Amino acid sequence: MPTQTVSDTARAAQIFQALSDETRLEIIAMLESGERCVCELQDSLDAAQSRLSFHLRVLKEAGIVTDRREGRWSYYELNREVFDDAEAILKDLRPRGRRGASRAGECCG
């Protein structure tokens, strides 16, 4: 079995936290159609360079993007796997069974 460094819950929280910022969601939107270099992102988003760099790092640390350096340019790309993970996590959080399955009366009696 794989060593479980962080709990599934912690991993889920990390992914959602990375997705919880508007600037980062905009970055993701720009990467949807493929790899982009930082300078392009900078042009479209009007974000200070270090700010953009910060958000790209958050995304990278959460595994949402990968990066690649080519000469003096850096290219960022979405990591498909993490989207599968996120979808699975969401499915897991989803309410099960019939709507409004009441537990009233089973507690605090």
Partner DNA sequence: TGAAAATATCAAGGATTTTTGATACGTCAA
Partner DNA sequence: TTGACGTATCAAAAATCCTTGATATTTTCA
Q: Which positions lie near a second copy, rule CB under 8 A? A: 7, 9-10, 12-13, 16-17, 19-22, 25-26, 28-29, 31-37, 39-40, 70, 73, 75, 77-78, 80, 83, 86-87, 90, 93-97, 99-104, 107-108
Beta pairing partners, 108: none
Q: Does residue 38 belong to the site contacting DNA (CB under 7 A)?
A: yes
Closest C-alpha among 93, 78, 92, 89 to residue 12: 89
16 binds, among a second copy, DNA, none (CB under 5 to 8 A by kind): a second copy
In the structure, how many helices (H) and strands (E) does the chain have?
A: 5, 3
